[in-house]
Structure 1
Amino acid sequence: MGRHEVQPDEQPLTGGNVSVGVVRVGDTVRRPAGPWTPAVHALLGHLHAVGFRGAPRAHGLDERGREVLDFVPGEMVWPFGFAQVEPHERLAGLARLVRELHDAVKDFTPPPDARWQVLIPAEGEAGEDEIIVHHDLAPWNLVAGEGGRFAFIDWDTAGPGSRLWDVAYALHGFVPLMAHPDWRRDDADAGERLRVFADAYGLDEAERRRLVPLLGRRTRSMHDFLRDQAGRGVQPWARLWAEGHGDAWRGDAEYIEEREAHWERALLGG
C-alpha cells in the first residue's frame, strides 16, 4: 500500500499548499505524522483541557501511523470565504480568538522530549515573550463554522515563538496586507483594519511600536524561507517557489515596508 494511497472510506481534503495525504474519515481527519506530532498533540490536548475551542482535538495515531484529529465543519475562509472576516466585528472576534489562544498556552509545559517543526523561528523576538504559537495563523488555515465560531487547523508547524511574531503574520492574511490587485486595499482601509485587530487583541502602546517593523520582516521571512528551501530542492517549498509564491511574498513585503509610517500612524494615532 502506497504511503498516501486513499481507501474507499476516505475523502481527500484539498485547499492548502501542503495537503498531500490529508483525508477525512467520518468525523475525523487523518494526516501524515512526523517527529513533531507528539508535541503538537500535547499542545492540542492542553488547549482543549483549558477550554479553548478554536482548535481540533487530537486522538493519537491510527493503524497506518497517521495522526487523527477532529474534523472541523464549516467554510474555509481562503480564498472564497473571506467575507467571513470582512465585517469589522468579525475581524475583531478573530483577533480576540488569537488572544485567547496565546493566553491559553501560557501555562502549557511541553513534553521534555518535544520536537517542533518550526520552519521560521521568531526573529529577535524570543525571551520573556516566548510561548508556543501556531506560526501559520492565516485565512488558509481558518474554518468559519456555525454560530460565527472560528477554528484554526493545520498545527504541524506550531512551536516556540512570540505573540507579536504570530500577530504580525496573522495581520498579513486577515487585513490583508497584500500587494496583489485582487486583495490590495487602499491605505486608509488597511490601516483601519490593522487598528481594529490590534484593539481587539489588546496590544498596548509598547507592543504596537514593536509590531510595526515586524509586519514587513515577518512577511519577508516567508520569501526568504521559500528561496532558501527551493535552492536546496526541498519539497513542497521548491514547487511553491516555482509557482510564484516567493514573488508574491516579496511583493507583499515591499508593499508593507513602503508604508511602515502609515501603519505606525494607524496603530498609534497622530
Structure 2
Amino acid sequence: MTIREEQPLPGGMNPTGIVRVGNTVRRPAGPWTPAVHALLTHLHGVGFRAAPRPLGIDEQGREVLTYAPGEVIWRDGFGLLDPVARLARVGRLIREFHDAVADFVPPPDACWQVVVPAEGDEIIAHHDLAPWNLVAEGGDGAWTFIDWDTAAPGSRLWDVAYAAHGFVPLSADRDLRRADAEARLRVFVDAYGLGDEGERRELVGALGRRTRAMYDFLREQNRRGRRPWTDIWARGDGDIWRTDAEYIEGREAGWERALL
C-alpha cells in the first residue's frame, strides 16, 4: 500500500485519520473496536444493511470497514432533508436499526467508547445519528450510517432525540431554523413509529436534555484541555449546541402539541 492510494475522508465531528483505500475505509482502532465490530457483524447477520461491514484490522493496526458510496448529507453542519419523504426515510431507517440491534448480545469483555453518558441502556445505541454520519447514494440508492465508534449502551429515545436535532433540524441558527419544524418533527417521529403517548411525552423532554448534554460535554472537555474537543470548542460548536438547547427547551409546548 502506498500513501497515494489513501484518500482522506470526511466523517463525524472529528474524522481525523479516516481514509479510503479502494473499496474499504481505514480508521484508527481503539479498545472499543472489537465490540463495535461484533455489533456491525450482528447487524449484517440479521439483515440490516445500512451500516458498514467490518473486515478486520490492517497491517497498521487500523480497523477496516466496507466503503459506503455516495455523499454525506450535510449543509453548513446540519442536514436539511427535503421533501419530507426523505426525512421520513431517515426515521424508518433508525427504527430498523433499533429493531435489528434489540437482540444483540455484546461480547463478555465488551469495551465501549462512551462520549456523552446516556439515559438508559436498553440497547447498544449509535449515539451520533446525524446528517454528517449518513451517506446517501443518488436517487433511491442505498443509505448508510457511518462512524459507529461511539456506539455504546443507551436508549432508543436518546438516539431519536439526538437524530431529531440534526435531521429535522431543531436549530436556532437563522439559516437552518425551520418555520415548519413542528410538522417535520411529527413526520420524523411518525416514520420512526413512536406510537405510545407516554413515550412521545418522554421524547419531548429528551430533545432538550440530549442537546444540552452535548454542550455540557464540550464545555467540560474544553475546561480540561482535551483535544480534539478544545479545537471543536474553539471553532464555536459549543455555542451552537447551547443556543440550540435553549431554542428546543423554549419550545417544548410546540413539540408536544405536534406529537400528541
Letter in 1 for 2:150: T
Give 2:97's aligned residue.
101
What's the secondary structure of 1:24's corresponding residue?
Answer: strand
1:8 is paired with a residue whose SS is helix
Asked if structure 1 preserves the Cα contact closer than 8 Å seen for 2:11 and 2:147, the reply is: no
Superposition pairs of residues 1-270 of structure 1, within 5 angstroms: 7-79=3-75, 82=79, 85-123=81-119, 125-126=120-121, 130-146=122-138, 147-186=140-179, 189-203=180-194, 204-268=196-260
Q: Which amino acid aligns with 1:234?
A: R
TM-score, normalised on structure 1? 0.92
Q: Counterparts of 1:161 and 1:82 in 2: how far apart (Å)? A: 23
The alpha-carbon deviation at position 87 of structure 1 amounts to 1.1
Change (3 A) 1:92 1:165: same
Q: 2:79, 2:132 within 8 Å by CA — same for their partners in 1?
A: no
Query: The residue matched to 1:154 in structure 2 has which SS?
Result: coil
Q: CA deviation at 1:89?
A: 1.1
Two-structure CA RMSD over aligned residues (Å): 1.4
**Alpha-carbon distance change, 238 to 79 in structure 1, aligned in 2, over 3 angstroms:** same
Q: Which has the higher contact order (CA 8 A, sep 6+)?
A: 2
Task: Give the deviation of 1:88 after TM superposition.
Answer: 1.3
**Runs of 4+ more than 6 Å apart:** none
Larger mean CA deviation between 13-22 and 259-268 belongs to: 13-22
Letter matched to residue 52 of structure 1: F
Structure 1 gap segments, 5+ residues each: 1-5
Contact 2:46–2:100 (CA under 8 A) maintained in structure 1:
yes
User: In 2, distance between residues paired with 1:262 and 1:145?
Assistant: 34
> How far off is 1:149 after superposition?
2.7
**CA shift at 1:19, angstroms?**
1.3
- Deviation per residue, 1:74-116 (Å, 9 max, x gap): 0110127946x21111111110110000000011000000000
Structure 2 residue runs without a partner (length 5+): none
More divergent stretch after superposition (114-123 vs 219-228): 114-123
Q: Which deviations, in whole Å up to 9, do the C-alpha atoms of 1:200-228 show, x marking residues without a partner? A: 11112111011001000000001000000
TM-score by length of 2: 0.95
* Matched letter for residue 165 of structure 1: W
Q: CA deviation at 1:132?
A: 0.3
Task: Report how many aligned residue pairs link the two structures.
Answer: 256
